Structures are given as structure tokens and as C-alpha cells.
Amino acid sequence: MEIKARAPGKIILAGEHAVVHGSTAVAASFDLFTLCSLRFHSDSENDDTLNLSLKSVGLEFSWSVGRIRETLSHLGGPFLSTPTSCSTEAVRCIAALVEEQNFPEAKIGLATGVSAFLWLYTSIQGFKPATVVVTSDLPVGAGLGSSAAFCVSLTATLLAYSDSVSLDKNQQGWLAYGDSDLDLLNKWAFEGEKIIHGKPSGLDNTVSTYGNIIKFRSGNLTHIKSNMPLKMLVTNTNVGRNTKALVASVSERTLRHPDAMSSVFNAVDFISKELSSLIESPTPDDLSMTEKEERLQELMEMNQGLLQCMGVSHASIETVLRTTLKYKLPSKLTGAGGGGCVLTLLPALLSGTIVDKVTTELESCGFQCLVAGIGGKGVEICFGESS
Amino acid sequence: MEIKARAPGKIILAGEHAVVHGSTAVAASFDLFTLCSLRFHSDSENDDTLNLSLKSVGLEFSWSVGRIRETLSHLGGPFLSTPTSCSTEAVRCIAALVEEQNFPEAKIGLATGVSAFLWLYTSIQGFKPATVVVTSDLPVGAGLGSSAAFCVSLTATLLAYSDSVSLDKNQQGWLAYGDSDLDLLNKWAFEGEKIIHGKPSGLDNTVSTYGNIIKFRSGNLTHIKSNMPLKMLVTNTNVGRNTKALVASVSERTLRHPDAMSSVFNAVDFISKELSSLIESPTPDDLSMTEKEERLQELMEMNQGLLQCMGVSHASIETVLRTTLKYKLPSKLTGAGGGGCVLTLLPALLSGTIVDKVTTELESCGFQCLVAGIGGKGVEICFGESS
């Protein structure tokens, strides 16, 4: 029997960088998914291995369950209903298991993801032979929450067959977890994220778990129900960036110009709050859908100006902005900046021809274009055949 | 005997648009000049005309003094030491004199400048035959204060031969007015600006009159002595813009997003204050000249981001920004935006080769490049031969 889970990516709609300095930020799920399938080996198969296939990055791993047990059983798991951090000792033991697999040097940045897999698998399911296959529509390392979607979809499959969650295994098609089960799932996914990122904010896994829109400030997350179907063009500039260095450069600018930057962060805070209220408010209220979209575009354009004021834009981002603006579509960077991804709202009444034209033009610059709805569902699972 | 005056242009270093909403702005004189020469006709010449030649825009005018007296003498001038506004009646009479000259339709925008000339000339000197020749390095209508430099240089020549000012007419070379004489001159120039612009702020004529740096907020002007020799590249995009419409669009955005925009204007206020303190502070103090230049560049880049947040940038401006940034030179728009001019600080130690390269590249885009010092002297006059 096979179980599948799919978990969405995330984008930051407003407030990146400023959130580090106390402003509100707004994130949304992005309806491109990471799909994880899990199949436990039956006794009759006589296959005593744990296999991990990461299709979209072309990596395959296989361990004998005996070897894993030998290396990790002294750590005390499984912990199932008590999400537990991977200790330094556990990190060391797991790293040894990953190294044994002759990890290709060029993809060494993905090794922590494999460590997260081993920790989540053994902590939740112990030492059972199985095959896990992961595919994803989300580019890796582009700030779209691919690692969180990986941890969330993986955890969703691992928890599905445990007694800690209640699911109707006979239901057909995609199925949502209950709220309290989602809390457990989210905590486990966060433990995976910690292995991958060190000190993640917890935002990415929360968005991927619960979906929809999340407002966050000083570590507090507020779930928001979107009342606007919103479609976004996400353009990946493919320019790699150093998030830590960018965050540090904003902090240094803030030290040099504390008063001005504090006002800039205040402006971002107001923009985030206005943007989340707009998305939350029923449509139509005072404003028609088109008017709300125009407001959103204006807020995104304003936020982009403030990000430029913080010094985190990049020539590649400016190229995207200029290109979409030719079609009267304002854009903003999303995430760390300095490259990475750019967000363009696609109004509901925008013709497909325009979308095709702008996409073609962006792709001719060497960028990757992704179009998807935002603010959709979080993680879902499917027993047996998925739809 | 001939008298000449030269008056500098102006640039806005920080705070445009935000100043309309109560923020501080900083302007500086820009060492490109409008040169005005005045020669009264001697009795022996038997030439009873008043001639105006506007060399840089290719316009020539000639009135008989009798015709001017007949049309304007009932207005009660000259007023010399009492700067007087041009009444509606006077505007009407002067417009008739301008119309008689078959003003070319294509240059009709300059007609108010000729009206200002007639008002200033007759109000200060009455009805004397003379020839006035004006040349200028400043592009017209580019936000560099060309009309103010015109009014200031003209007024300087007109006042020089009056009893209202005290000047050593035997001194050789360029000569400055005394402070109280400058006040009179500035008031008259402002009357000319009112004829040209309707409701000018008085900033442009004040910068052209006194030179140096001026901080202004809510109509209050503060003179600042620069302690940094600063050279700027001013790039004229040659894209015409509608200042009134741009100011209105910022106000409309402010009505839609009052809290966010108010923080943006606060940020600009802090930037203007920091920038003027930096220019005023002795060099070297805590910071070396190079460090101060880097700070200035950063403040200009921040201000540009905030102007983008206000929505007053333009594709042509972005092209200039991108081009100068290739040479690691940040830029900002100056003035109304939506086209117009862009300002780039040229650090003292920047090689001439780089300046040539960036200038060549900008000119190949169809832009006009002007390089000059800022914060230099205001209006000066020269009796006889000028140096």
C-alpha cells in the first residue's frame, strides 16, 4: 500500500527583511507542490532496505535497515507524538550514514535534506524497510520554501500510518489532516527544517502545513483566510544569493541611518497590515475585485521601493521589474533579494495572451517563470491511488 | 558700457515630493550658468529700442521704448527698491506686447519668460533703450532652475546701475553683491518666477541668488555652508514630464495609504537632515572624505527607493540608474521625476576615464550629460570685460 502527500511552497507577499527589524510580514502558500510517496515493504518482498529517491534533483539513496538501526537506535527513538530536536550526537551519527552513500560533491548542499529525512523517518517510524519517492515543482534554493514542502510532505506520509493522527483511510482522493494533527505535523516538519537551515523562523513549514495566508511579526504567526483568488507569476532570476549577507547588509545600513531606516520599517509594517486586511476583506465590499487588485499591485510596488531603499535589489530583479512593467504589471522581489525570485500579480481579467507574452519575454532573458494561485490549501494526503 | 551677470542652476539633492507633505528637502546650486548682459544705448546711437536676445533658445525680440511706455506707464513703475507683483492688469498689457512680436508657436512655452523680462526691466529701469543678451548652459524645463537663473541674472544686471545697491564698479572680474542687496535681488527675481510659474516655492531663485546649499521645509529656507567639494553628473533623460500631475499622483497615493506614506515622508525627512549635516560638517572629522561620499551615495540611493515607493520614477530614469550602477555609481532622480534629470555623485577620486565611459554610455542612450560642481557661489556680476 502506498501513501502520498503533497505540500505547497510559499512566497512572501510583503515585509521581507523589515520583519527582522520588528515589522509585520505576510506570506502565502504557493500552489506548486512537493509530492512525497511512501511505501512500506511487505514481508513477502524480503527487501530490508530504506530507499530515498529525490527525483527532481536526480539523487537516489539506499540503506539497509540493520545499518540504520545499528547507528541510530541508541538515540532512543521513535518519538512519534513528541516532536524532538535532532541532538548534536544524532546529527553526527546521521551525517555518517549520509556520507556512506558517496554524496556527489556538486549536490552537497542537499545533504542536510537527506539528514532531515533520516531523522524524521526514524524518529516517527523507527526502523522499517520502505521506499520514499519525492518529486517537486518547486525550484530548490529559490526562496519558495522547497525544503519546508519536503519536510511537510514527508512528515505527512510518516504520520498517516501512526496512531497519533486520526484519518479516514478509506476516503478517496486528496484528504486534509485535522487541525490538531496538523499542529503535530508542523512541529515535526519544523524539526526537519532545523536540520536543514539551523535557525529557521518556522514560517515556511507553517505555510506549507496550513496553507492560506499567514501574517507574522516578532515570531507570532496569525492565520488569515483569503477572500480573494490571487494568481501570481513567480520569476526565478536563477541568480544565487547569500541570504545571511543580505540580512547583515540591511542591519549595517540600519546602524548607519537608524532614524531613516526605522521609518522605512514602519512603512513596510503599514503596507503588510494593509495588504493582509485587503486580502482578508470580503469581495466585493467597498472595493470591486479589480480595485482590490490595483491596491495590491500598488502596495507591492511600494514595498519594492522600500526594499530598494534597504539596498537588497539586484540588476536581475530590475530587469524583471522593467519587463513586467512594459505590460503595466508592477512587481516586487520576494524573499531575500539580491537575485532570487520576483513576484507579479496577474489580475483575474488579464488576458492569457499577455501572460504568455510577458512569460516568453522573461524566459528569453534566461529566467524561469512559474504561474500559480496563492493562498490555497496546505498539506494533503491520499491513500492508494491519488487523483 | 556693458554689464554682465551670471547665475547658477539648482538641483534637488534630497526630499523632492516629500517636501510637499512636510518633509525637509535639500537643494544646491549647480555650477552651470545663465549669463545675462545688459547694455544701455547711448544717446549718440539714436536707437530707441529695447532688444532681448535669448541665444540658447534662438529667440529675438525688439520693442520701441515708446510702445512699451504707451502700454505700461499707467501701471505706476518703476518700483526699483520695492519688489512688486505683476498685477492681472499688468500681465494683460505685457502679454499684448509679447504677442505683437509674433511669438513662434513651437516655443510658446517661453512666452511667460519674455513677460517676466518686460516686467522686471520696466519695473526696475523704467523705459530706457537697451540690448539684453541671455545665454545659458542650463537646459530649459529640465528641473535645473533655468527660469530662476534667467530671472536672477537679469535682475542682477538691472539693479547694478541703480542707487538701491552698493557695488564697486571699478573692480575687475566677477563680483558678488552684498547680503542686503542680494535680498532685494532675490525678491525681484521671485516676482519674475511668479510670472513664469504661477506659484513657485521661491527655492529656485533663492538657490540661484545665494548659491551654496539650502535646506527647506514648510516654506522655511535655511542656508548651509558646504564643507565638501561635490561634483555631480546630471543626466537629462529628455523625457518631458508633467510636474503637477506627478505631485497630484503622490497626493492620491497618500490618500489611499496615509499611514505607509506618512512613514515614507518621515524617512525622507531624516535622509534630508542627515545629508545636509554631512555636507555641512567639517572634513575630515570622524569620517574621511571618501567615507562621507559613500554615505552621501547611500543616502541618495535610499531616497531613490523612497521616490520609487511614491511612484514617480520612470523607465528612462531606471535606465540611467542601471547604467551608472554598472560603474558602481548609485543615482537618484532629481526634481519631479517621471523623466527629467538624474543625479549621480562623482567621488573626488573617481578616474576621469570612468566618468568618460559612463557619460559616453548614457549619451549613446540619447541622454544629455552635464558635469559640474554643486554648492558653489550664487549670482555674480562683472562690469566691462568679463573674465
How far apart, in whole angstroms, are the C-alpha atoms of residue B15 and residue B31? Answer: 21
How far does CA B328 lie from the centroid of its chain?
Answer: 29
Grid-cell match 512559474, residue found: A370
Query: What is the model's pTM?
Result: 0.90
Return the pLDDT at A382: 93
Q: Which of A262, A264, A329 to mutate to test the interface with B (most CBs of B within 10 A)?
A: A264
Angle (nearest 5°) at CA B164 between B159 and B168: 75
Q: Give SS3 for A229.
A: coil
Which chain A residues have a beta carbon less than 8 Å from that of B261? 267
Return the pLDDT at B386: 43
Cβ–Cβ below 8 Å for A309 and B311: no
How far apart, in whole angstroms, are the C-alpha atoms of residue B56 and residue B295? Answer: 37
A349-353 long-range Cβ contacts below 8 angstroms, 24+ apart: A349/A290
DSSP annotation of B200: -
What count of residues does chain A have? 387
Which chain B residues have a beta carbon less than 8 Å from that of A253? 298, 302
Of A260, A302, A322, the CB nearest to B302: A260
The complex's ipTM? Answer: 0.89
Q: How confident is the model at residue A109 (pLDDT cuts 50, 70, 90)?
A: confident
Which chain B residues have a beta carbon less than 8 Å from that of A255? none
Return the closest-CA partner of residue B121 out of B56, B201, B40, B178. Answer: B40
Mean per-residue pLDDT, A297-301: 97
B16-19 long-range Cβ contacts below 8 angstroms, 24+ apart: B16/B307, B16/B333, B16/B334, B16/B335, B16/B336, B16/B337, B17/B246, B17/B247, B17/B250, B17/B307, B17/B310, B17/B312, B17/B336, B17/B337, B18/B264, B18/B265, B18/B268, B18/B269, B18/B272, B18/B306, B18/B310, B19/B216, B19/B217
Grid-cell match 501701471, residue found: B75
B311 touches chain A (CB under 8 A): yes
Return the pLDDT at A232: 96
How far apart, in whole angstroms, are the C-alpha atoms of residue A302 and residue B311? Answer: 8
Cβ–Cβ below 8 Å for B259 and A253: no
Residue A168 has pLDDT above 90, yes or no: no
Return the pLDDT at A43: 87
Of B259, B299, B305, the CB nearest to A305: B305
CATH number (3.20.20.410, 3.30.230.10, 3.40.50.720, 3.30.450.20) of B2-225+376-383 reads: 3.30.230.10
Residues 6+ apart with CB under 8 A from A104: A59
**Measured on CA atoms in the order A153, A158, A163, A167, is the torsion positive or negative?**
positive
Of A264, A310, A315, the CB nearest to B322: A315
CATH number (3.40.710.10, 3.90.1300.10, 3.30.70.890, 3.40.50.2000) of A230-374 reads: 3.30.70.890
Nearest CA in chain A to B292: A256
Cβ–Cβ below 8 Å for B266 and A271: no
Distance to chain A for B272, nearest Cα, Å: 10
Distance to chain A for B266, nearest Cα, Å: 6
How far does CA A29 lie from the centroid of its chain?
Answer: 8
Q: Strands A49-54 and A130-136, how do they pair?
A: parallel
Specify whether the backbone of A141 is left (phi greater than 0), alpha (psi in -120 to 50) or beta.
left
Cβ–Cβ below 8 Å for A263 and B267: yes
**Spans of chain B below 70 pLDDT:** 284-285, 385-387
B26 touches chain A (CB under 8 A): no
Nearest CA in chain B to A304: B309
How far apart, in whole angstroms, are the C-alpha atoms of residue A313 and residue A299? Answer: 17
Identify whether the C-beta of residue B381 lies closer than 8 Å to the C-beta of residue B167.
yes
What positions of B carry a catalytic annotation? 204
Q: How confident is the model at residue A385 (pLDDT cuts 50, 70, 90)?
A: low
Which chain B residues have a beta carbon less than 8 Å from that of A270? 257, 259-260, 263
Return the pLDDT at A81: 81
Domains B2-225+376-383 and B230-374 share a fold: no
Nearest CA in chain B to A323: B315
Return the pLDDT at A31: 94
How far apart, in whole angstroms, are the C-alpha atoms of residue B50 and residue B121? Answer: 10
Amino acid occupying residue B252: E
Residue ranges of domains in chain B: 2-225+376-383, 230-374
Higher pLDDT, residue A364 or A85: A364
B274 touches chain A (CB under 8 A): yes
Residue A22 has pLDDT above 60, yes or no: yes
Amino acid occupying residue B202: G
Q: Which of A257, A265, A278, A300 to mutate to test the interface with B (most CBs of B within 10 A)?
A: A257
Cβ–Cβ below 8 Å for A270 and B260: yes
Least confident of A167-181, A285-299, B108-122: A167-181
Amino acid occupying residue B25: A
Distance to chain B for A275, nearest Cα, Å: 11
